[in-house]
Structure 1
Amino acid sequence: MNKSLRLAIEGNIGVGKSTLLNTLPAQLGDNWFPLPERADEDPEFRRLLNEFYADPNKRVNLQAWITNSRIEECKTLRADSNYIFERSFIGDMIFCHANFMRHERPSGELLGFYYDIMKAAKDHPLDALIYLKASPETCHSRILDRSRAAEDGIPMSYIRYLHGCYETHLPEIARTLNIPVIEIDWESFQKTEYVAEKLENFIQNGIYGTTIRKIA
C-alpha cells in the first residue's frame, strides 16, 4: 500500500466506536494509529457540555470547540502514517443537522459555521468512513451500561432522533464529499478481524470515489 490513509469510525452515541477503535489498528498493521476523541476528558469540554444542556442557544459553542480541536489535531498528523479517527468532521456536520439546521430559518452564523466544517472536511479529506449501525434502543442500553459522566441523562428520544439524522444525512454528506462509506451492522459487536478483513478488501480494491456505500 503506497498511499497513507485516513479513515473514520462514525455512528450514534453509544454504538461502540471507541470499542472498535481500541482494537482495529493492531489488526491492520504496524503503521496504523488510533485517534480517540478525548473530549470527555477535557475540563473545557465538560463546561461546554453543561452549557449545551442548560441553554440550547449556546449549543454552537460546544460544537465549535470540538471542530476546532479536530482541525488542530489534523495539522499534527504525519504524511507517512495511517490514521483511524473516532468521529470526524462528518459527525460534526451531522451534529449540526441534529441541533441547529432543523430550525425553520437557521441564522447566518449557524449556516456559516456548517460550511466552515465542510471546508475543514475538504481540507483534511477521509479516504473512507466506517459507519457502525445499531438500533437506538441498543445504543441507549450501551450508554447506560458504560455509565460515562459526560453522557449522564441523555434521553432515549435524543438517541432515536440522532439515529434518524445519521440515516438521512450521512449518505448525503458522504456523497457530497465523495467519501465511500462501509456500513457494518453493529447491533451485536462483530469480531475486529471481521472489520479488518472488510477494510483490507476495500483498500486492495482501490475503489475510492467509485461507490458511496458498501454494505458489509
Structure 2
Amino acid sequence: MPSRSRPEWLGPETDDITPAVSTSSHAFQAILDDLVRTLDAPVGPPAAAAGALSADDAHSLTAPASSPSAPPSADDTALAGPPPARLQGRGDLTIVVGLGGDAREAARILAEGADAAVHPVADRRAALAARAEGVRRGCAIVAPVELDAVDAVAALAADLASIAPDQVWVAVDVSRRLDDTRRWVGEVDAVLAVDGIAATGARRTAGPHGLAALARPVLWLDAPPA
C-alpha cells in the first residue's frame, strides 16, 4: 500500500488546532516559494478559497439524519477499525474522491466536522494553492475530487498522486452497484492509500451494503443501516 509522508513545512502532527500563522512566517513563505517554483510565475496575496464553505452554504446544508460522528456498526469496524480522526491542522489537506456530487456532499460534511474549508483540487498546483490558503486562514482544507465515471481513475492517476494529500476518503453511495464501487475504490487505493469510507445511501437500498469487502474504516454521513 502506498505510504504518504507529512511535508516538512507542516511540522509534526498534532491534534490541536494551531492559531493562524502570519504571512511573514517561515512556513507560509516556504509554501509560497514552492508555488512560485511550480507555477513559474509570481504569486500575489492569497485570494479567498474557491468553493470555500460559506455561512450560507453551511446554513443550507441539511443536517444528516444521524450525526457524522455517530459510531459505525459492529460489522463495519470488525475488520477495518474505527474511522480516522478528521485533520484540523492549518494547511492539512484531505481529499474526498467520489462519483460526481457524492464527493462534494461528503467533503462539505467532513469539513463541517473539522472547522475546515472546502477547496476543490485537481492536481499538484491546485493542492499547493489549497495548502497555502489553509495556512493563511489557519485551518485544514477538505478537497472534493469528482469522478465522472467508474473507470475514470486510470486517466487521473498521475494527477491524483501528485496531490500528495495528508488523508484520503472515498465517498460511497451504497445504493450504487457494489461491483462498480469496488472497482473504482480499489483503483483509488492503488494510487493513494485510502484512509476511510464516507458512506451514504443505506436507506435507498434494501440489499446489503457490502462495505466490509472494501476493508476500510467506515463513517456513515447519514442514517446507517439498521
Which TM-score bucket, shorter chain as reference?
0.3 to 0.5
TM-score where L is the length of structure 1? 0.41
TM-score where L is the length of structure 2? 0.39
- Indicate the structure with greater helix content: 1
Structure with larger RCO (C-alpha < 8 A, sep 6+): 1
